Amino acid sequence: MRKHKYNQIVLSVSATVSPFIMLFGLYVIFHGHYSPGGGFQGGTMLAAALLLIRLAAGFDIAQLQFKRILGTPLGSIGVLIYFGTGFLAMISGGEFLNYGFLPFAGFTEDGLRSLGILMVEIGVGVAVMAILVAIYDDLLEGYLHD
Amino acid sequence: MIQNSPALAPLLLLATAISLPVLAIKKTKVAYPVTMVASFGSVIISSYNICLVLRNGPLTYHFGGWFPPIGIEYVLDPLSSFVALVVNVIAFFVLWHSGGIQEREIPGKSVPYYALALLFLCGANGIIVTGDLFNLYVFMEIFSLAGYGLIGIGEKQAPVASFRYLIMGTVGASFYLLGIGFLYIVTGSLNMADVRNILPHIHGNPAVAAALSLIFIGMGIKMAIFPLHGWLPDAYTYAPSTSSALVAPIGTKIAAYVLIRILFFVFGVEFVSQELPITDSIAWLSAIGILYGSVMAMAQSEMKRMLAYSSIAQIGYIGLGIGLANPLGYIGAVLHILNHAFMKGSLFLVAANVRRKTGQSNIAKLDASLRKKLPWTMAAFTVAALSMIGLPPTAGFFSKWYLALGAIDRGNWVFLAVILVSSLLNAVYFFRILEKVYLIPPPAQKTGEDLNPETGKGRGSLVGEENFSLMIPVVIISFSLLLIGLGNATIVEMIIQRIIPLGM
Amino acid sequence: MTDFLLGHYVYWSIIALLIIGLYGMMLKNNLAKKLIGMIIFQVSIIMFYVASAVKWSATVPVLDPAIGVADAAKYISPLQHCLMLTAIVVGVATSGVAFSLAILIYRHYKTLEESDLMEHMKSS
């Protein structure tokens, strides 16, 4: 395996910028139902924040930020959050993904629909982030060991 | 909860597929039982749906509580519940068989394999049940990507075959997407029933003709109609045996179902057969495909490749039934969807068993020792072969009968001759194998080789084969071909007669 | 004639992208170039949908308190944009699968040229 050469400028800039990209990604996810944004867009930005460190500092050091084995299970958990919201609506009497039937107290019907969209977007964001990083890790797997 | 039944089958399969990586994170042996439970659940749900639809009439289900044409709608009419039942039953038997053979062929990858198989089935169920054009595209891409993964998971030549399938399949799906873009621009709606109502009012708009051509070419690539079939032989040959057994009976039938649904139920029979006669071109291309597939199958020396070319020929029958555009041809096409799924399923499972027993599946190397080593598998192969040729009372005869009657009804004697000649050609390449196994006396016994079945180990040794779980699914599928053949009048009356589209 | 060519310049450029994508997929020998052609082809279809959503003197489909919700003709149609989000995700997934397959092919055959691969497939 080729030894990773560290470039100080790239490393400093990436390490400084990566948390801000993550913060902006979270902002885009949470404001998806009011302004342009949403689950997929925010998830891609979160993945970009993680991939930046993988490219700048090398694969081994980047494990401190996001471990490799977390990739696929976290993707499954994200899709299960999406599915769980729909399922919760289904067992509370409505159809699948009918957010008006979610069993949370203290919300009006419109508030429940808004909350349902938010939960679904969070699920999608987590899933997209984990899967994009997992694709990168799997594509890199052969190169690291041969 | 049970009033959600139209949507339960795809949702159950999706939930199991995405929870497999989480459940099997420590113990990978749990993937196979969970898959079997999910598949059996989908069979039960499909049976319940078809009983409900036959008693009460078509069911609709609105996602999220939004009514069409704004919301996405799932529609269960007799055609979709019938095809869903066929797909789920075949998939259940193939997945049952895969338990014994999967570890040998694809070592160490059982969790991704079963997750991909469940996603494949989720996509198939979603395509069958949906009533919204764009939702069909989404499920079709889930189904196709899982198919590329299932085929590419093998070794050596499998990734190359899967890559070619990927490029061609993505072109097909993109053409479909472009077609529904044209339809959306001129009609303003994505719901199938709504588009059906709007289209007669925009008579003569060239965008509708463009949409029809694009959708036909897109689905034709996925269905492997004659000139667009190039991906099929390599993909079915080089894939692992369990993957071919899962993809081959289901993959192209789903595309044929989509073509039936869009041509006859969205555009309408008069539009596709009189104004823009695309059914004529489908019929002629399918006829050429039938002859091409049968002739090429005779020239092959490897069993899976022969079965792949035979699949091209059988899809030609379904295309011919669609292209005839009269009730008898339509009944023949839909009945052939059922028959071919069962026939190809059992043939590919037989090839998997032969490959496991003797290490290869080359026809020249088959010999009469298989008569002793795999008696039940070869019996199942015989029944399936007779059905492919079209001998009564096996199931294959009845679909060819309806297709022949449909061709006579249209007065087109060329198609009748094509059907008869291709049955003879099928007989040639199947009898070649039957002759090698049953009619040629066994080779002289080599020293140390024991053909005596009673000394074999394993629970099945009393009936002559070693492994029960590999033998029973094959036998059940093959012998149900006899049942389907004997009961085909019931199937046609109760189910297929009810869904002949208006105007035929 | 000028209206046919200049009035529909958006659709002509989309057709040009589509043909470039098809050219890459069909006539290039390297598998990676075929993939790039496929991605360009998918992008052209996304552009087609987005181009069909535009209206005269309309603004982005985000609620503007000055305009309100009464007049829907003041906002461009958001449905095609939502459909294309899904199509973009599908394109990303397809590219991921395709690149993994290309890496598997390279690891086994040490080449990505299609002519060499066809010879290897027939022989092995």
> C8 in a domain, yes or no?
yes
For chain A, list the contacting chains (3+ Cβ pairs, <8 Å).
B, C
Q: Residue B460: what pLDDT? A: 43
Q: Which structural domain, as residue segments, surrounds residue C45?
A: 2-58+71-123
Residues of B in contact with A83 (CB under 8 A): 11, 14-15, 18
Note the pLDDT of residue B457.
45
Do residue B21 and residue A75 have CB atoms under 8 angstroms apart? yes
**pLDDT band (50, 70, 90) for residue B502:** confident
Q: Model confidence at A112, in pLDDT bands (50, 70, 90)?
A: confident
Average pLDDT over residues B353-368: 78
Q: Is the dihedral of CA C8, C10, C13, C18 positive or negative?
A: negative
| Distance from C-alpha of B201 to C-alpha of B179, rounded to nearest angstrom | 19
Q: Are B51 and B468 in contact (CB under 8 A)?
A: no
- If one counts every other C-beta atom within 10 angstroms of the C-beta of residue C119, the result is 10
Q: Which pLDDT score, from 0 to 100, does residue A20 have?
A: 95
Query: Which residue of C62, C88, C89 is in closest CB contact with A35?
Result: C62
Which pLDDT does position B445 carry in this prediction? 56
| CA-based torsion, B406, B410, B411, B413: positive or negative | negative
Which residues in chain C are contacts of B170 at CB distance < 8 A?
A: 38, 42, 94
Sign of CA dihedral B427, B430, B436, B439: negative
Range of the domain at A120: 8-145
C60–A35 CB contact, under 8 Å: no
Nearest to B334 by CA among B93, B134, B79, B88: B79
Phi, psi of B250 (to 5 degrees): -105, -40
Q: How far apart are CA B428 and CA B345, in angstroms?
A: 21
Q: Is there a domain that residue B430 lies in?
A: yes
ipTM of the complex, rounded to two decimals:
0.94
Mean pLDDT of A77-104: 87
Residue B132 pairs with which residues in a beta bridge? B191
| Average pLDDT across chain C, whole number | 89
Residue A80 lies in a domain: yes
Nearest to C62 among A36, A38, A142 (CB): A36
* C110 domain-assigned: yes
Question: Cβ of A40 and C100 within 8 Å?
Answer: no
Q: Which residue has the higher pLDDT, B465 or B5?
A: B5
Tally the domains of chain A: 1
Rank A5-9, A69-73, B105-109, B311-315 by mean pLDDT and report only the highest. Answer: B311-315
Name the band, by pLDDT with cuts 50, 70 and 90, for residue B465. low
Q: How many domains in chain C?
A: 1
Give mean pLDDT, residues A119-124: 92
Q: Which residue in chain C has the smallest CA separation from B176?
A: C45
Q: Is C105–B177 a contact, with Cβ atoms under 8 angstroms apart?
A: no
Say if residues B148 and B114 touch (Cβ distance below 8 Å): no
Residue C65 forms part of a structural domain: no
pTM metric for this prediction: 0.92
Q: The domain spanning residue C50 has which CATH number?
A: 1.10.287.3510
Nearest Cα neighbor of B122 from B196, B57, B45, B28 is B45
User: Residue A114 and residue B4: Cα distance in Å, rounded?
Assistant: 23
Residue C19 sits at the chain A interface (C-beta within 8 Å):
no
Decide: B75 and B133 in contact? Cβ < 8 Å: no
What does the pLDDT read at residue A105?
A: 81
> Residue written as tokens 């026809």?
B363
**Cα distance between residue A119 and residue A89, in whole Å:** 12
Tens digit of pLDDT for each residue in B231-277? 999 899 998 888 899 999 999 999 999 999 999 999 888 888 877 88
Is B163's CB within 8 Å of C41's CB?
no
Instruction: Give the mean model confidence (pLDDT) for residues B368-374.
Output: 76
Q: Is residue C23 part of a domain?
A: yes
Per-residue pLDDT reduced to its tens digit, B151-198: 998 878 899 999 999 999 999 999 999 999 999 999 988 999 899 999
Q: Is residue C91 part of a domain?
A: yes
Q: Is C104 within the bounds of a domain? A: yes
Coil, strand or helix at C75: strand
- Asked if residue A117 belongs to a domain, the reply is yes
What is the predicted pLDDT for the residue at B202? 85
Q: Which residues of B touch A100 (CB under 8 A)?
A: 65
When pLDDT is averaged across residues A17-34 and rounded to a whole number, the result is 91
In a domain, B62, yes or no: no
Summarize pLDDT for B394-417 with one digit per residue, the tens: 888 998 999 999 999 888 889 999
List, in order, residues 6 or more apart from B148 with CB less than 8 Å away: B162, B165, B166, B169, C97, C101
Show the low-confidence residues of chain C (pLDDT under 70): 124
More confident residue, B453 or B160: B160
CB contact under 8 A, C98 and B174: no
CA separation, residue B395 to residues B332, B440, B501 (Å) = 11, 28, 24
Mutate to test the interface with B, among C34, C43, C104, C113 (most CBs of B within 10 A): C104
Residue B238 domain flag? no
Residue B287, domain extent: 277-442+458-504
User: Left (φ > 0), alpha (ψ -120 to 50) or beta: where does B137 sit?
Assistant: alpha
CA dihedral B464, B467, B469, B472 (to 10 degrees): -10
Whole-angstrom Cα distance, residue B424 to residue B418? 10
Return the minimum-mean-pLDDT range out of A92-101, B303-312, C33-42.
A92-101
Beta-carbon-side half-sphere exposure of residue B388 (alpha carbons within 13 Å): 31
CA angle, residues C96, B181, B324, in degrees to nearest 5: 100
| Location of structure tokens 């461009």 | C76
In a domain, A3, yes or no: no
- Report how many helices (DSSP H) and strands (DSSP E) chain B contains, helices first: 20, 2
Q: Give the H/E segment covering residue B309.
A: helix B303-324
In a domain, B480, yes or no: yes
Better pLDDT: A75 or B63: A75
What would the mean pLDDT of B44-63 be, rounded to a whole number? 89
Determine, yes or no, domain membership for C82.
yes
> What integer pLDDT is reported at residue B454 of this predicted model?
45
Whether the pLDDT of residue B226 is over 90: the answer is no
Percentage of chain B lying above the pLDDT 90 cut:
44
Total of domains in chain B: 1
Evaluate if residue A3 carries a pLDDT over 70.
no
